[in-house]
């Protein structure tokens, strides 16, 4: 019987965990990332065995989602309650911006209510950094603007590691609206730090400025898929079309939409990931999303485990 996943892990992997907030994956070194993934895998097993955990007992976790979200919010809520925390849902959009109150003032108010950890989803890139500077709250970034979505990248890495056996030397293609994607940004940082090569593929307007060791940019889907070990599709946001990244969704699908036929270029059976929600028929076909190689369901399951690991590591 494990006393706590924490104690068990401390023996297996003595990496020190340095950060109090999780603002983006760039704060984590390779060992911390691996420790987090290992702990998440362990959490997943404990959950499968319906073990009771209480490493967050006494913690008051606030979920502040200033942007609509279902899966991430629910995933964090289940993660926090599974660890024994009390969880408060904070309806941000209604309480702050509409009354003209600044984000900092809103968060300081929340801090005074006794909330210790704040899971923050916000439309403005960098909002969690402001929150971390201006308050004593422990901040977990649940997605900020087009900047970062660290727990999504961690759950993607866990899913890929399980499927591929490891990420060192792996080639992962990311296809979609990369420019507006916080998921892509965090994955680029995380996957390259774990030794993978990341190929970004989209219309040129969406990959500008992604210059980084370990990152390749491809405009043509076939080039990006050639020999790829795994492929991640990103949501193409209907509302972004007005900004001119792509002439039409029809053209997007014709040139960059993923299907079984186009996946022939990738390694046989290369897994497909998608952070959701999917636009089936746009960024990938419905049959591909439902195919055995699709890990989309697995990502959701891993999301809870990764968020349990993150919350418990941050709590120290």
Instruction: For the chain, give the longest Cα–Cα distance.
Output: 58
Question: CB neighbours of 55 closer than 8 A, spacing ≥ 6?
Answer: 4, 5, 6, 83, 84, 312, 315
Question: How wide is the angle at C-alpha 96 spanned by C-alphas 90 and 102, nearest 5°?
Answer: 125
116 scored as a contact of another protein (CB under 8 A): no
36 scored as a contact of another protein (CB under 8 A): no
Q: List residues bridging with 122 in a β-sheet.
A: 144
- Interacting positions 148-207 with another protein (CB under 8 A): 148, 179, 182, 185
Name which position in 14, 165, 209, 316 contacts another protein (CB under 8 A). Answer: 209
146 scored as a contact of another protein (CB under 8 A): yes
- The pair of structure tokens assigned to 101 is 């109150």
Smallest gap from residue 236 Cβ to another protein (A): 17
Could you give the CA distance from residue 22 to residue 138 in angstroms, rounded to a whole number? 8
Name which position in 102, 113, 136, 287 contacts another protein (CB under 8 A). Answer: 102
Smallest gap from residue 193 Cβ to another protein (A): 9
Smallest gap from residue 179 Cβ to another protein (A): 8
Q: Which is nearer to another protein, 6 or 129 (CB)?
A: 129
Question: CB neighbours of 249 closer than 8 A, spacing ≥ 6?
Answer: 236, 238, 241, 282
Could you give the CA distance from residue 160 to residue 63 in angstroms, rounded to a whole number? 27
Q: Which is nearer to another protein, 127 or 236 (CB)?
A: 127
Torsion angle of the four alpha carbons 281, 286, 288, 294, in this order, in degrees rounded to the nearest 10: 120
18 scored as a contact of another protein (CB under 8 A): no
23 scored as a contact of another protein (CB under 8 A): yes
Q: Which is nearer to another protein, 183 or 270 (CB)?
A: 183
- Binding residues for another protein (CB under 8 A): 21, 23-24, 26-27, 102-104, 122, 124-127, 129-130, 132-134, 144-148, 179, 182, 185, 208-211
């Amino acid at each position: 019987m494990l006393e706590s996943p924490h104690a068990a892990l401390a023996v297996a992997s003595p990496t020190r965990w340095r950060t109090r907030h999780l603002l983006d994956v760039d704060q984590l070194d390779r060992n911390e990332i691996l420790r987090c993934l290992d702990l998440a895998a362990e959490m997943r097993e404990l959950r499968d065995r319906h073990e009771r955990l209480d490493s967050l007992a006494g913690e008051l976790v606030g979920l502040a989602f200033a942007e609509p979200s279902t899966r991430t919010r629910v995933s964090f809520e289940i993660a926090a309650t599974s660890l024994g925390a009390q969880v408060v849902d904070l309806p941000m959009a209604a309480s702050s911006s509409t009354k003209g109150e600044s984000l900092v003032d809103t968060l300081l108010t929340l801090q005074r209510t006794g909330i210790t950890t704040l899971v923050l989803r916000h439309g403005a890139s960098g909002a969690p950094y402001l929150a971390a500077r201006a308050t004593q709250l422990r901040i977990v970034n649940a997605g900020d603007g087009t900047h970062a979505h660290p727990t999504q990248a961690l759950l993607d890495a866990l899913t890929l590691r399980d499927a591929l056996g490891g990420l060192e030397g792996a080639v992962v293609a990311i296809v979609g609206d990369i420019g507006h994607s916080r998921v892509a940004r965090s994955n680029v940082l995380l996957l390259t730090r774990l030794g993978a090569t990341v190929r970004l593929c989209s219309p040129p307007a969406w990959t500008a400025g992604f210059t980084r060791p370990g990152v390749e940019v491809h405009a043509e889907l076939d080039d990006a898929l050639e020999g790829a070990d795994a492929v991640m599709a990103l949501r193409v946001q209907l509302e972004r079309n007005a900004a001119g990244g792509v002439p039409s969704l029809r053209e997007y699908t014709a040139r960059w939409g993923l299907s079984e036929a186009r996946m022939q270029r990738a390694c046989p059976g290369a897994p497909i990931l998608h952070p959701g929600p999917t636009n089936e028929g746009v960024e990938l076909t419905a049959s591909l999303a439902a195919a055995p190689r699709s890990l989309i369901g697995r990502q959701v399951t891993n999301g809870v485990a990764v968020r349990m690991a993150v919350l418990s590591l941050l709590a120290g």
